[in-house]
Amino acid sequence: MGTNVHPQKEQCFRGPHELYFKTLSKQKKVMEKNGNNRKLRVCVATCNRADYSKLAPIMFGIKAEPQFFELDVVVLGSHLIDDYGNTYRMIEQDDFDINTRLHTIVRGEDEAAMVESVGLALVKLPDVLNRLKPDIMIVHGDRFDALALATSAALMNIRILHIEGGEVSGTIDDSIRHAITKLAHYHVCCTRSAEQHLISMCEDHDRILLAGCPSYDKLLSAKNKDYMGIIHMWLGDDVKAKDYIVALQHPVTTDIKHSIKMFELTLDALISFNKRTLVLFPNIDAGSKEMVRVMRKKGIEHHPNFRAVKHVPFDQFIQLVAHAGCMIGNSSCGVREVGAFGTPVINLGTRQIGRETGENVLHVRDADTQDKILQALHLQFGKQYPCSKIYGDGNSVPRILKFLKSIDLQEPLQKKFCFPPVKESISQDIDHILETQSALAVDLGGTNLRVAIVSSKGEIVKKYTQFNPKTFEDRIKLILQMCVEAAGEGVKLNCRILGVGIGGGIIHQHELIHGSSFCAAELGHLVVSLDGPDCSCGNHGCIEAYASGMALQREAKKLHDEDLLLVEGMSVKKEEAVSALHLIQAAKLGNAKAESILRTAPISDKVAYTSLFSPCQLQIPGWVPFTMFVTSSRPNLKKLIWICD
């Protein structure tokens, strides 16, 4: 809403949400659908003096239409605490029946007490809601008590109407407000920006009502009433209009120490400014006890220029701020309601830094010196600004009542979020990743040695070629050198480096067949002997138990321990570990037992596998003596690729 809004022109609020209440006939149809004109049972829960000022106009509106609504009032929080004025009495004075009083505040005025208060409310509220069984609960704002209310209602499948969602202030209240938004089913917001914030938070636009602030329905009709009697009652008979200050400052729960220091500087500046000042006690947030101590330390309650009070009834408070020379502090009232009167406001610190404000508000974001605050008082005091209608035009309650009547209780309770369209997500499943990566491979050609990075589809990503040395030792040395070089490049390509066991794979029509367990064609774990040695997989007699690098190393150690490994031309240093290479070397030098172990290892099963599927390419992973595969290759195998470490 802007300053050009005419009170009688509701079309300035039009949007998709107004499809809900275009005509009274639509409302009647909805009521009939809800069950033979059954009244909508509305529970309004109020936690403190501030939220009651916003909820009271709605409560009066609901009470005035008994043919449509049943009203239940629940009072909790600081309303019921003497130190904060026992403000539940003003609800009774407004002639509302309080159905339930819940003592939910754990005293201490620190962070832990706030958390404990939320927990206590969550313990007590289920019994109340089970007894009242409301169709909808109205929750206001961003207080920790309101979070407990919304959480309880949401978990008990009670529809929630949230008042003043989508706004931005600047402290923990933002997080609480947005959390309630996500729990709420319907939203009443006060400004265009708040409406856009709710839409950006993926709330359904059809369930958002831009109505304005309910308190403005009172504010815009209040200024012309008799006010001098109220000023004299609270500030003294010698005080004139526009010649006093209203101060209202709360702790900032995310920076308590700084907010207490800022309050101390504010009081010092007000003492120096030497004008009659009405100081209201802070709210019950963490840090408020320390702020009260600061007031008493400075003698504010007994100072001739100050009047310190716990509570002022809202109707009287309106008159006091409307005719003040200035308001100072960090209350949302200063940046919201006071703008309706054009009263100068000094907003201290960051508690309301994100609020939309009129030109009557002067921000002192870093209120770190008394002089800075004093200068702001000199600049603002006694000015008169144009009245602002950012937060309302005085017709909020009728819109809210129409919105309530339009709620269809037969609609699914589960709320839906209007997420923006996004691209289809790409699978991040580990098996999918492994299947699409590359592997390091060695092609044992006759003339040349070739090491390649090969994709799972059999495509060569990168190839390294060297002339094949004549001696076995040089060949092994060159292969390892080429593999190290390729592995370094493979890291950049997410190369899959396989283990030292015997693996396998089937590429069919350019796709790797993985099977239901993603372990298809795992050749190393084919059982070839039920009485064979133990395998690491838990079975007995797997090919890997006979022919893997670890298996051959085990056999080499066994021969070495029996002094049957070494032959003429061989030696093993004392500190050197016996490996499968020693077994191969012994076989080449004529060790019959070593040669027997290599030949009896059931490597031929892998070659038999090629006969079963007749592939054009075989990838054999693991560190098994490659000479066995070369000599055993079948004629139909066009390409042999060794996948190694």
Residues in binding site: 525, 535, 537, 542
SS3 327: strand
Tell me phi and psi for residue 159, to 5 degrees. Answer: -65, 145
Q: At what angle do helices 256-273 and 370-380 cross, to 10 degrees?
A: 50
Q: Are strands 448-455 and 460-467 parallel, antiparallel or unpaired?
A: antiparallel
Count of beta carbons in the 10 Å neighbourhood of residue 421: 4
Helix H, strand E, coil C: the string for 451-481 is: EEEEECCCCEEEEEEEECCCCHHHHHHHHHH
Measured distance CA(501)–CA(291) in Å, rounded: 71
Instruction: For residue 625, give the nearest of 607, 644, 610, 605 by alpha carbon.
Output: 644
Chain-centroid distance of CA 321 in Å reads: 39
Measured distance CA(152)–CA(139) in Å, rounded: 11
- Residues flagged as binding site for Zn(2+): 525, 535, 537, 542
Q: Are strands 639-643 and 438-444 parallel, antiparallel or unpaired?
A: antiparallel
Measured distance CA(209)–CA(222) in Å, rounded: 25
SS3 29: helix
DSSP letter (8 states) at residue 170? S
| Beta strands, E only, 77-118 | 98-102
DSSP letter (8 states) at residue 4? T
Count of beta carbons in the 10 Å neighbourhood of residue 500: 17
CA angle 211, 214, 219 (to 5 degrees): 125
Measured distance CA(48)–CA(474) in Å, rounded: 87
DSSP letter (8 states) at residue 542? B
Instruction: For residue 128, give the nearest of 77, 70, 76, 61 by alpha carbon.
Output: 76
Measured distance CA(404)–CA(322) in Å, rounded: 32
Instruction: Please state, in angstroms and as integers, the Cα–Cα distance from residue 390 to each residue in 193, 210, 335, 609, 616, following that order.
Output: 10, 12, 10, 79, 76
Which residue type sits at 391?
A: Y
Helix (H) or strand (E) holding 34, with range, is none
Measured distance CA(162)–CA(124) in Å, rounded: 21
SS3 448: strand
Instruction: For residue 66, give the nearest of 96, 41, 100 by alpha carbon.
Output: 41
Measured distance CA(620)–CA(379) in Å, rounded: 85
DSSP letter (8 states) at residue 364? E
